[in-house]
């Protein structure tokens, strides 16, 4: 065996990284963190409604309904994030248009959830002053 051929065998094989998949993974991780923060905020608001007894008032019931709707949105977000991470029941989309559509839906759901939670927080502040 020649010297050159022996040196080629000693070269380790480099791993090829798909940048698109790496970016997608990073983006999904960012959404998971954002989702975690929103879920915790929603849970705190619901607990506050119960602990203060405001859940049993007319305005508190409305706030509870808003938080329930926000939670439904968050369940949809969890399903979409799992799908993007290829952890859901439906395989992850591969075409960029499909991936972008899912991220657009994620942004819309998280924004709507944030609005509902913010509205509820303001309502809780107003009700707490009474």
Reply yes or no on whether the pLDDT at 22 is more than 60.
yes
Give domain status of residue 70, yes or no: yes
Read off the tokens for 75: 């369940």
Domain-located, residue 5: no
Q: How much is the pLDDT for 3?
A: 56
Q: Is residue 2 part of a domain?
A: no
Q: How many domains does the chain have?
A: 1
Q: Which domain holds residue 44?
A: 12-129
Domain-located, residue 124: yes
Burial 48-70 (b: 16+ CB within 10 A, else e): bbeeeebeeeeebeebbebbeeb
pLDDT at 69 over 60: yes
pLDDT digits (tens, 9 = 90+) for 36-53: 888 888 888 888 888 888
pTM of this structure: 0.69
Q: Is 3 within the bounds of a domain?
A: no
CA distances from 24 to 29, 34, 48, 85, 115 (A): 9, 15, 36, 8, 26
Q: What is the pLDDT of residues 78-87, one digit of tens each?
A: 888 888 777 7
């Amino acid at each position: 065996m020649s010297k050159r051929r022996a040196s080629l065998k000693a070269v380790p094989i480099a791993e090829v990284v798909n940048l698109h998949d790496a970016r997608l993974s990073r983006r999904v991780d960012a959404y998971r963190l954002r989702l975690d923060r929103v879920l915790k905020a929603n849970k705190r608001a619901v607990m506050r409604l119960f602990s203060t007894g405001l859940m049993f008032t007319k305005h508190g019931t409305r706030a509870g309904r808003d938080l329930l709707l926000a939670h439904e949105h968050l369940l949809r977000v969890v399903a979409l994030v799992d799908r993007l991470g290829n952890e859901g029941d439906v395989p992850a989309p591969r075409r960029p248009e499909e991936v972008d559509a899912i991220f657009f839906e994620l942004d819309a759901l998280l924004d709507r959830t944030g609005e509902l939670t913010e509205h509820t927080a303001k309502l809780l502040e107003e009700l707490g002053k009474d």
